[in-house]
Amino acid sequence: MSPDPDFTAQAQAFHAQGRLQEALEAAARGLALDGGNPTLLNLAAVCSAGLGLLDQAEACWRQALERQPDNLECRFNLAVLLTLRQRPAEAEAACRAVLARQPDHAEALDQLGTLLRNRGCIAEAETAYEAALAAHPDFANARYNLGVLLMATGRPVAAEAAFRTALASRPDLVEARCHLGHLLQEQGQFEAAEAAFREVLARQPDHAEAHFGLGLLLARQGRAAGAAAAFRAVLALRPSHPEANNNLGILLANDGRRAEAENAFRTALAGAPDSFTALLNLGLLLTGTDRLEEAEALLHRALRIQPDHAEAHNALAAVLLARDRPTAAAAVLNRALELDPGHPGSHNTLGNLRHRQGDPDGAAAAYRQALALKPDYHEAHSNLGVLWTDLHDPAAAEAAFRTALALRPDYVEARFNLGLLLLRRGRMTEGWPLHEDRYHPGRRHPTAAPPRLSCPQWRGGSLAGKTLLVLGEQGLGDEIQFCRYLKPLRDRNPDSTLIFLCKPTLAPLLRGLAGVDRLVTRLTEAPPADGWCFLMSLPLLLETRLETIPATLPYLAADPQRLSRWRPLIPTAGLRIGLVWKGAAHYANDAWRSLPGLKTLAPLWSALPRGMVTFVSLQKGAGQEEAAAPPPDQPLLDLGTALTDWADTAAIVAQLDLVICVDTALAHLCGALARPCWVLLPRNGRDWRWLDDRTDSPWYPGVLRLFGQGRNEEWGMVVERMAGALTDLGRQLPPLC
């Protein structure tokens, strides 16, 4: 029985109009009359494939070939379908079956070439493409595929010629134009590459790979906003595109938008859990936000995928160093340098390790090696600046920071560190503006976070009739030192209302602070304000210079009731000297500022005759156990364990003759109370506020005396000097009766 010819004509007409479902239905009606008709079976298969009914399409083509084994159209179409269904061996067999019957079948040769290329048979694939073009010289698709092969095998000139020839035959072949854009970008022909990508998008606005290629190009040129827009266009079309998410994450991270960057990297990993690049980038991002345990786990995952990747080893070494595991960091870093001795980042990390280990010469050599390999390495220049700062070479430090900023003007770490250097040198007019970068979101460790308030940040100007919320920030010592600025702020703005948000443990001490209308310890307790500012921005806003530091002492006082409570516990005879030898362990520079232990202070006990002095421990936290059970030759009155807040500490300090401490908040409390204090300062990481080359402090004139650790001095040598000063002090006292 022959089918009604109208069914075949209807099916073909519907197919030509793109009405696939109707075409399929017409073909089905014809096949109901003649189920083995090859023409209708092929048409039904084509429509089924177009509708995503791949099983049905394959069945139709196979049925057609059973009826007509030499039907090359059906056999070739089956090969294409099998390729689409990721069954390459069967697809290759189908192509070869076509070519066995028609050796110059250009489409089959082109398809075979792609199958061979995909399984790495490059020479055979190239032969297949050349054969397709010999049979059909104007076959644009084969010419394009040959260009892809030539591009992948490092023959850019021939690849470009292939792409351009394909486009001359078929200007609408957007895949060839997109690959041409990638090729031109690799060759540094950025303008031509951009034109190619934009031509693709003009013809096909939803071409995801053209958006992606354009994003890579713009990012490479430093056009971050355009690149981000291009990657977002990719993700609007393909939300799980791993590479677009990863590259967008890099741009967001560089812009300081860390939460968005993290989301982008995690989305990339959701689409490609074994993406080495996304694992590495997310690990680097979390390292920069101090989520070091997570970062370490991610970098270990990355190294399981690419165990010989030097950059990943270097990143892991940096994490281990940040986690205070220098031995482990050194081992991983050695592996990074074995893998790639010329990797600048590894030499930079080695410099950081040597600096941490107290080997400045080794650190300098490592940084210089990083710069020899990469002269424009702004991070290494900045790290050299930090090293020269610690080595008390301010001119070299300033030059290094300024070089880093010349290379990358938005490098906030160098800008912030330059600000600290300038403040340390007493160049406050230059330093305060740069000190505002302490809370810049692009910093690796911002020391403050702007609050979420409806009122704006106050940046100067009249406060007449307005309410200002001043936010305490950073450590306890910072709040004690800079709360002095509230009175001069009020003096300049007598009609204003000042609200001060301080740390809860300081509130009992700061009640009654001059210039403050209301003291709060939580943001939710603060009344509505017209503006807010950080406490440590006040020196900038009040235009503080070295000679205009508000240094009227005391500006804090001990509470009378607390004085009475502690008075019975404090000896009345001889010198009473308070001691603190360790700071909080979480402080970044604590390894350098804290003493190894109470025994380091032993020379002080022999500086004065017994009975002339009582040493009083004010130690809390680390070191407290030593105060509770001191060595027999270091008798100590332990009051630190009984302290409840800073008002208690102030009440004790106010009744002592001297306090000796490492660089902690206690030094600032003594200064604010105008009580004598000797401060031990480390050679590495000496805080900017103590300035360079001084034994006194303009912040606490006549009260603080500074004992700085020299480059080659151990703490014991500094304590010996301090013991000599204590002996001199004892000579000025009346003799014991």
- pTM listed for this prediction: 0.78
pLDDT bucket at 735, cuts 50 / 70 / 90: low
Percent of the chain with pLDDT over 70: 98
Q: State the pairing for strand pair 658-662/575-580.
A: parallel
Angle, helices 208-220/242-254, rounded to nearest 10 degrees:
30
Mean pLDDT, rounded, for 35-48: 81
Judge if 544 and 676 occupy the same domain: no
CATH number at residue 496: 3.40.50
Judge if 582 and 695 occupy the same domain: yes
The residue from 514, 548, 582 where one domain ends is: 548
Query: How many domains is the chain partitioned into structurally?
Result: 2
Q: Are 648 and 618 in contact (CB under 8 A)?
A: no
CATH number at residue 605: 3.40.50.2000
Mean pLDDT, rounded, for 438-447: 81
Question: Residue 686 corresponds to which tokens in the numbers above?
Answer: 């000496």
Domain assignment present for 434: no
Domain assignment present for 582: yes
- What is the pLDDT at residue 316? 96
Domain assignment present for 523: yes
pLDDT for residue 140 is more than 90? yes
Domain assignment present for 61: no
Cα separation, 422 vs 568, whole angstroms:
46
Cα separation, 611 vs 613, whole angstroms:
6
Judge if 585 and 633 occupy the same domain: yes
Judge if 493 and 596 occupy the same domain: no
pLDDT for residue 474 is more than 80? yes
58 CA to centre of own chain: 51
The residue from 528, 548, 568 where one domain ends is: 548
pLDDT bucket at 688, cuts 50 / 70 / 90: very high
pLDDT for residue 374 is more than 60? yes
CA neighbor of 507 nearest in space, from 646, 673, 670: 646
Of 145-154, 285-294, 404-413, least confident by mean pLDDT is 285-294
Judge if 539 and 570 occupy the same domain: no
Of 282-291, 472-481, 512-521, least confident by mean pLDDT is 282-291
Beta strands in 266-359 (DSSP E): none
Q: State which H helix or E strand residue 328 sits in.
A: helix 326-339
Scanning 122-189, the segments in alpha helix (DSSP H) are: 122-135, 140-152, 156-169, 174-186
Q: Are 478 and 535 in contact (CB under 8 A)?
A: yes
Each residue's pLDDT tens digit, 522-545: 999 999 999 999 999 999 999 999
Judge if 586 and 677 occupy the same domain: yes
Q: What is the mean pLDDT of the chain?
A: 91
Domain assignment present for 451: no
pLDDT for residue 737 is more than 70? no
Judge if 607 and 683 occupy the same domain: yes
- What is the pLDDT at residue 262? 94
Judge if 566 and 688 occupy the same domain: yes
pLDDT bucket at 733, cuts 50 / 70 / 90: low
Judge if 520 and 618 occupy the same domain: no
Give the domain extent around 594.
Answer: 560-731
Domain assignment present for 166: no
pLDDT bucket at 600, cuts 50 / 70 / 90: very high
The residue from 548, 572, 597 where one domain ends is: 548
Judge if 484 and 579 occupy the same domain: no
Give the residue carrying structure tokens 């995690």: 266
Judge if 725 and 689 occupy the same domain: yes
Residue 453 neighbours by CB under 8 Å, 6+ apart: 469, 523, 529, 532
Burial 18-54 (b: 16+ CB within 10 A, else e): eebebbbbbbbbbbeebeebbbbbbbbbbbbbeeebe
Judge if 626 and 711 occupy the same domain: yes
Cα separation, 689 vs 48, whole angstroms:
77
pLDDT bucket at 567, cuts 50 / 70 / 90: very high
Domain assignment present for 660: yes
- The DSSP letter of residue 407 is H
- What is the pLDDT at residue 549? 96
Of 542-546, 665-669, 712-716, 729-733, least confident by mean pLDDT is 729-733
Domain assignment present for 379: no
pLDDT for residue 136 is more than 80? yes
Each residue's pLDDT tens digit, 248-264: 999 998 887 888 999 99
Cα separation, 694 vs 140, whole angstroms:
78
Ordered DSSP codes for 426-477: T-HHHHHHHHGGGG-TTSSS-S------SSPBP-SS--TT-EEEEEP-S-HH
Cα separation, 559 vs 648, whole angstroms:
8
Q: Are 317 and 285 in contact (CB under 8 A)?
A: no
